[in-house]
Every structure is written in C-alpha cells, then in structure tokens.
Amino acid sequence: MERTAYVLYLIILLLSIFMFGAVHTYMYTLMILGVLTATLLVIHKNIRKDHRSGEYRFHLPRNSLHIGFLVLLCFLVFQLIPLPDFVLKLLSPEAWVVGEKSVPAHWMVSPGDTGKPWFSLALYGYPVRMSIIRFVVYGLFFFGLVRTLNSQKRINVTISILLAMGCFEALYALIQTYSDSYHVLWYKMNYAKERLKGTYINGNHFAGFMAMGVLLAAAFAGALAPKKRSSRGRSQKKRGLASRISSFMEGQESLSKRILLVFAGVVMGLGLIFSASRGAIISWAGAMFFMGLLLIVRKEYRRKGIILLGIFVLICAYAVEIGVDYPLERFMKIESGIESRSRYADKTMDLFDDFKVTGAGVGNFRYAFSKYQSEKDKKKFYMFAHNDWVQYLSEAGIVGLCLLLGGFGYYIFKTLRLWKRRKDPYAVSLGVVPIAVIVYMAIHSYSEFNLHTPANVLILVTIMAIGYAALHLERHRRRDRMNYRYYELPLKYRGGVALVLIFGLIGWSGYWTIKHFMAEVYCNTVPNSTLNRDQAPPVEEIVKAIEWDGGNAEYRYKLAEAIEKEGTTGLTQRRKGAKAGEALITNQQITNNAAKRMVLEKAVGLNPFEAQYHLRLGWAYAHLWKEPDYRTKWLPAADISMDRAAYFAGVKNPHLHQELGNYWVMRSKSVYPNNPIHHEAWAKACWHYQKAQSIEGSGQWSVVSEQGKGQKSEVRGRSSESTALKRMKKEIRDYVWNSYPDEEYVKAVLGF
C-alpha cells in the first residue's frame, strides 16, 4: 500500500509538469484528488497494532514543518470566519468598508428590510477556499512523500525520474524552437520562438523548473561521490583481489553516474539560459553560489564546489557555442522590466496599506488590485503582481507574512542544524539542496509568480522531501534505516482525534475540488488557453454550475448576462426543489430585469471588489421603473451601486467609465435642473467620460495571466488607438446629444 502511494505521488508529479504545469482545472483537479488518495494509503499504513498492549496506534511523523503548516492553515480559515463589526473594524477597517459595499444597495435605502450580516476578513471567500485546498494538498504531498521515501533506492529513483523529466522538457523546448510549427503539445503558442517553454505555458515557470533541476543534479552528483576510506579499510594487504576489483568497479560506476548527472545538469542549464528568463537566471546563480558557500564552510566537502563550478562553466560554454543573442538582448532591456515590476509592486503595496494587518484574503489580489492600478498600466487586466512577496503581503497582511517567515525560518534552522551534524556525503550533498532551492524561489519570487504554478510547487516540495529524507537516512551495507521520529498516538484518544481531523481535512478538500471541477465543466471561469471552452454558456448550464459551486461570483454574473440574452425561461423550467439555480426564481411571471437584479445582488455579495458587477446591478435597479417605489427605493439604490462601481473602477476598463457617464447623464435628466442631484449627476458624468477617453487614448487591451504578458483580450482592443478613441467619442457624443441636443453639453463631456 505504501508502494502504491509512492508510485501515485510520482505519477501526479510527472503529469503536473507535462500537462502545462497543472494550471488548468482538469489537471490540478487530478493532482489534488491523486495526492489525497495517496495520502489516505499512507495514513492506513501508519495505523499499527502495538503487540505488547494490543491497542492500535497512529504513528504521526514528527517534522519541523508541522507547526508552521497548522498555524498557517488556521490563519487561512480565520480569514473566512464572519466577525462582529467592532472586531472587523479593529483588524481591518478597509475590509469593513468593502463589506458595507457588498450589502444590496436597496437595503441601504430601506434599512428596515432585513438585518445586516457580519463580514469576514476575506470579503470574497471563494479564492481563499481554493487557496486552502491547494495549501492542504501541498502539505499532504510533502508529509506523504517523506514517509514513502524510506530508502536510498527510492530517493535515488525519485531524483532520477525528476531529472529525466527535466531533460525531456529542455530537449522538447529546443525542438520547439527549431521546428516550423511552434506548439506546446496540441496548443499553438503565440509568443516569440526564441524563448524556450517546454510543456509550460509561461517561459518563466519553465525556467523555474530548469533552475531547480540544475541545483538538484549538482547536489546528486556530489552525493554519489564515494565515502572516504577509514584507516582500517585502507590496508590493501588485508583485502582480497575480488574485493579490490569490486571496489574499483563500484568507483567506475559511481563516476559514470556523476558524468551522466553533469550532462543532465548542462542540458537543463541550457534550457534555463534559452528560456531568456532574466529573474530565473539571476536567482539560479545566487542559489548556486549559496549552495557552494555552504559546502565550502565544511572543509571535508570543499571539493563538491568544484562540481558546481564545473556545471556552471559547461553550461556557459555550450550556451556561447549555440548563441546567446536573444537572452543577452533580454538582459539589455532589464531596466524596463525592473521599472514595470517595481511599479506593480508599488501599487500592490498600496493595496497592502489598506489591508495591512490581516490582508485582503489569500487569492484575492486579482479582484482587489483594479482599484490601485497605475495610470501607466491602463487597459491591462492583472491576475498576478509579478512579485509573490508583495502579493502575499497584500493578501495575508503582516500577520500572514510573519507566520510564513516564522514557519520556513524554523524549518531552515532545524534543517541546517541537522545538516551540520551529518558526515555522510550522501546526506550532506542532498541535505543542502532544499535550502538552495528555497533561496532560489525566494529570489525569483521577487520578480515572478512561480508559486502560482502547481507543478513548480510540487517540484519544490519534492526536493524538500528528498533533502529531508536524505538527512535522516542511515546507510548500511545490508539495509538502510530512516531515522524518523514519530508521535505514537493511541486511537482511542489523541490518535482518534488526529485521524478525525486529518480525514475531515482530506474529505473537505476532495468534496470541494469535485464540486469546483463539475461547476467548471458547465461554465468555464478559470483561464484555460489550451481548450476551446464556451465563454458564454446558456442559462441551463450556468444554473447547473451554480448548483455545484455557489460560491463563485462569476457564475452569477454570467447568469445575469445569459438572462439578458435568453430571458428567464431556463430558470423557470427547472424542476422544483433544486437548491441553487431554481431558488433564484420562484415566480414565473418575474421580469428579466428583476431576475438580473436578484442574481447580480448575489454576485456583489460574494465578490464586492468587481466594479463591473456594481455597474450592471445599478442598471438593473434603474430599469425597474414599473415598480411603485421606483423613485424612493430603486433609483437611489442605482445611485449607490454606481458610486460603488466608481470606487472600485480604477483605470482598467475605459468602457466601464463610459457606461458610468451614460448613467449619470440619464440620472441628471430624471430631476429638474434646479435640483442639486442634477448638478451632481452631470459633474460625475463629465468626470467619467473624460476618464474613459484618457484610458482609451493610450495602450492596448492586454491580460497578465497564466498565459503570460501582452495577450490581447478583446477584438475591439486590437484596433488602433486613434480609431478606438474616435469611436468612443462618437458614442459619447451621440448618447449625450439624445438627452442634451446642445453643443455646449457635448463639449463639456468631450473635454473641449
């Protein structure tokens, strides 16, 4: 059973790397379910019967990451717990402000309609829930893999398979570059062929794998060096001819393996250099230096540094021979890259300033960042900050960062202390590589988002597990022994409680993973560049998605768009008694606008950060003109929603500001000119129209996601800047002219 779990871990690792880095729903779902299944097998193996007492005990391995893992997990769960107003205001005043904006606007007009809910620190819970699932899976992968790496043979096999996969990725990437058809598996790429990507979508994440692979290859080559003979074993007179021949052959075999490992390191090093990832190359050089420095500290292992230097020199020599023009060209432009990434980081720090203590919610960056975006980044949709440090700081706050640094700091301290005590070359060489890889990832994360690629996190965790196992390995001629320490917990007491908690965590993660996957089958919201998914499914399918996973706000927004096109037929024909979709509409005579209003209110309640939701909800309120309390309730509610949309709008979408301008023009006509609302509404219309033109007049539509940077996202974004701006000005002029057929009004909104 333990062997089955070990094989399953390896299969999941390789598939995650091969299938685009496991960034897409179908692959990370398989990854999660595979790890959870393997963990159950490992747990079953660790329930043993004590022959002396006759009672069953649960053997829980002791590990320096246990405390950090549990504390961080509790913190993530705490972000989802609704808190009283006075507690929320104390911990995160901005979270309270945003929470207030998630309440349906008509409740603010008629507060007697219903009670006010409590809000959590993470105003949008869905991304935090998905982050918890992945965090649990990565932790269980480490603990389970460590338990199955119980011999030198398994450690060697794991390293060999990982390095073989690295060589395959590097060679596959080279074939891509020099082939006529530039595909990643079946998906045709739209990027420069000079950059190697292997089977990854993003070249920087491919470079992350290559860098970690080179570090592992160098450490493994040092680990296979033969032990120094003791004074007792040096006497050749006491050794027979057969023994000496056997020793010579073993030495030759070890040398051949090390040469092969150096070759593997060189191949992956070439993949790293020709990925042209500046951050990865710089980070790898820093990690190699750090690893060599640790080995130099110990006199008896200084020769290991020669291996590191040799791999480094060979990689550079081969790269120069092949030609490094494009990577060097990328380094010549490094100042522009530093400038843009520094700007992203600065604006992310503005987000952090508003959620300083406990963050906006892990996973919420892509939703909360729009409000803080720089004027230089107009018309860009950012999913990541290109700096995992500041992104995590904005999502988890000071508390979350301290817990993360404390957990890893404790792990590094315990690992280095054990490493200093070990004398075996195998343990010393492999025991240092997890620290080097963590250093690499810490540096590279300053300019990239590698830790949002599941495959690279699994590689990092695998190398940490390899190093941990090697440091606890006691090698003997007949049988290896793992010097692990365990908590032996009786099942009747603490062991039973621990098992219930672990099984509950595994069951909860698997349950929500399956629900998430099934929902995505019906309605795609996770970016997926490799499958041609329908981005606007019919009402029936969106309702099914909501039934599977009602926490995803984007399903509700897409449902509102589908209702606008198809009406409420798909909702009213659903069978009675359904939990999610049919409960939205119970009256078959309800209008489309009322249906949209109900759906959009739920979307805003789930995710108040999205300005587009507030905008559409405001228009839905404004179109309820047949309601008897339209002017006293629904129209003021529309005003509140539009102000909320403006609060979150930022400079991402010029058309959002254009529609806000349209609304306030309409609103200014709904009252007499001497009414203060008229002047206020007209001033807002002018401001939003001019803002829309300012944004439209610069830059092209692009999205920063798992596909990389610079991808045009809409057809209208591909037109030239002047054409797009002229079209917008004409639309604004026509709309204003219909309400105010006067050139003075037109000039005011067009900024003349």
pLDDT exceeds cutoff 80 at 379: no
Residue 259 is predicted with a pLDDT of 79
pLDDT grade, residue 6 (50/70/90)?
Answer: very high
Query: How many domains in the chain?
Result: 2
In a domain, 597, yes or no: no
Identify which has the larger pLDDT, 76 or 320: 76
Residue 395 is predicted with a pLDDT of 95
pLDDT exceeds cutoff 60 at 81: yes
Residues 533-548 have a mean pLDDT of 89
CB atoms within 10 A of CB 528: 19
Identify which has the larger pLDDT, 130 or 57: 130
pLDDT exceeds cutoff 60 at 347: yes
Residues 366-380 have a mean pLDDT of 86
In a domain, 587, yes or no: no
Residue with tokens 């230096």: 289
pLDDT exceeds cutoff 70 at 212: yes
What is the span of the domain harbouring residue 729? 653-752
Share of the chain above pLDDT 90, in %: 45
Closest by alpha carbon to 38, among 135, 141, 130?
A: 141
Cβ atoms of 169 and 206 closer than 8 Å: yes
Share of the chain above pLDDT 70, in %: 81
Residue 71 is predicted with a pLDDT of 94
In a domain, 185, yes or no: yes
Cα gap 164→427, rounded to integer Å: 22
In a domain, 358, yes or no: yes
In a domain, 458, yes or no: yes
In a domain, 105, yes or no: no
Residue 587 is predicted with a pLDDT of 46
Residue 364 is predicted with a pLDDT of 95
User: Considering 468, 494, 520, which residue would you say is the last residue of a domain?
Assistant: 494
List, in order, residues 6 or more apart from 182 with CB less than 8 Å away. 176, 188, 189, 193
Interhelix angle 388-421/334-354, nearest 10 degrees: 100
In a domain, 525, yes or no: no
Q: Which region among 133-137, 315-319, 595-599, 711-715 has the lowest average model confidence (pLDDT)? A: 711-715
Helices (H) and strands (E) in the chain, counts: 29, 10
Cβ atoms of 365 and 348 closer than 8 Å: yes
User: Considering 494, 529, 562, which residue would you say is the last residue of a domain?
Assistant: 494
Per-residue burial over 230-256, b if 16 or more Cβ lie within 10 Å, else e, is eeeeeeeeeeeeeeeeeeeeeeeeeee
Residue 719 is predicted with a pLDDT of 44
Residues 432-455 have a mean pLDDT of 91
Per-residue burial over 20-45, b if 16 or more Cβ lie within 10 Å, else e, is bbbbbbbbbbbbbbbbbebbbbbbeb
pLDDT exceeds cutoff 90 at 555: yes
Range among 56-70, 322-336, 625-639 with highest mean pLDDT value: 625-639
Residues 509-521 have a mean pLDDT of 95
Cα gap 554→163, rounded to integer Å: 40
Cα gap 505→496, rounded to integer Å: 14
Residue 478 is predicted with a pLDDT of 59
User: Considering 494, 518, 547, which residue would you say is the last residue of a domain?
Assistant: 494
pLDDT exceeds cutoff 70 at 76: yes
Residue 718 is predicted with a pLDDT of 43
pLDDT grade, residue 713 (50/70/90)?
Answer: very low
pLDDT 10s digits, 137-171: 999 999 999 999 988 889 999 999 999 999 999 98
Cα gap 17→14, rounded to integer Å: 5
pLDDT grade, residue 228 (50/70/90)?
Answer: low
Residue 710 is predicted with a pLDDT of 43
Query: Average pLDDT, whole number, for the chain?
Result: 83
Residues 365-392 have a mean pLDDT of 88
Residue 383 is predicted with a pLDDT of 87
In a domain, 528, yes or no: no
